[in-house]
Amino acid sequence: MPGSQDSPLDLVKLSELPVGKSAVVDSLKIEGTMRRRLMDIGLVPGTRVKTLRVSPTGDPRAYRIRGAVIALRSDEGEKVLVASKARDY
């Protein structure tokens, strides 16, 4: 089950995922309407995400999520934990 295994070595914040790298969403560390918004755009455990670009100022960052390009601010991306190594979801 996503988020149930404790292996902090391979979990990173989405906002720290380098450009060109892919990872799989492990968990969302946020509640309320922002959690719902992130889930609505496809950020649910098991979803593959790729960092595409970083704006010249460093914020926001563009990600490919379920075929769509979505821009997220760093404060949103830091609440999404991703696993760079594949897990059984």
Indicate which CATH number applies to the domain containing 61.
Answer: 2.30.30.90
Helices marked H in the chain — which ranges? 33-40, 74-77
| pLDDT tens by residue, 40-80 | 999 999 999 999 999 999 899 999 999 999 999 999 999 99
- What pLDDT is attached to residue 44? 95
Is 9 contained in some domain? Answer: no
Q: Is residue 88 part of a domain?
A: no
pLDDT confidence of residue 85: 64
Residues 26-44 pLDDT 10s: 999 999 999 999 999 999 9
* Dist CA 35 CA 18 (whole Å): 23
In angstroms, the Cα distances linking 31 to 19, 37, 63, 79 are 27, 10, 21, 10
For residue 87, pLDDT beyond 70: no
Number of domains in the chain: 1
3-state SS class at 68 = strand
Q: At 89, is the pLDDT very low, low, confident or very high (cuts 50, 70, 90)?
A: very low
Task: Flag whether 69 is in a domain.
Answer: yes
Which residue range(s) make up the domain with 38? Answer: 14-83
Q: Establish if 32 belongs to a structural domain.
A: yes
Task: Decide if 2 is inside a domain.
Answer: no
Tell whether 34 is covered by a domain: yes
